[in-house]
Structure 1
Amino acid sequence: MPNNSEANIATADALTLLLHNQHALAAALEEVTKWISVNGVESVAANAVGAMDTLDKNARAITNAIMRLRQL
């Protein structure tokens, strides 16, 4: 892909929206995980925590990609 400033901005904007969605999903999953944990299903809660860790890791990578695109 050529270094096209408008394309980079559009891509960064789309990634930003996806990142916001990812944060919302993580927040919802965290609430469900708390409820599951309180109701005694620790193994399911532990799996949900693992999923949230993946969301956090991927959110950092998406953020880095957005920052690189916005610098071009």
Structure 2
Amino acid sequence: MPPKNNNPFFATGDKVVVNTTHTTKSQIVVWKGTKGKIEVVHTSQSMPGVHFYNVKLPNGTMIQGIEEEYLDDDVPAE
């Protein structure tokens, strides 16, 4: 069995978007109206394989402690 990858999926400076399939109702209030790309400004790890991110919204608002599952790659729609 290959070793588990414990590296963060996103890196500082990455541009990401909200993963709406994992977003709760209370989080939708925070993300609502967020247009443009979200910038990852810091990554941290609470335990192996569990990563948290501090992000900056396009309007300049900083949000701390966002779990990896709530963010998604900025993949252009086809």
Same fold (TM over 0.5): no
Higher Rg: 1
Whose relative contact order is higher, 1 or 2, with alpha carbons under 8 Å and at least 6 apart? 1
TM-score, reference length from structure 2: 0.22
Higher relative helix content: 1
Higher strand proportion (structure 1 or 2): 2
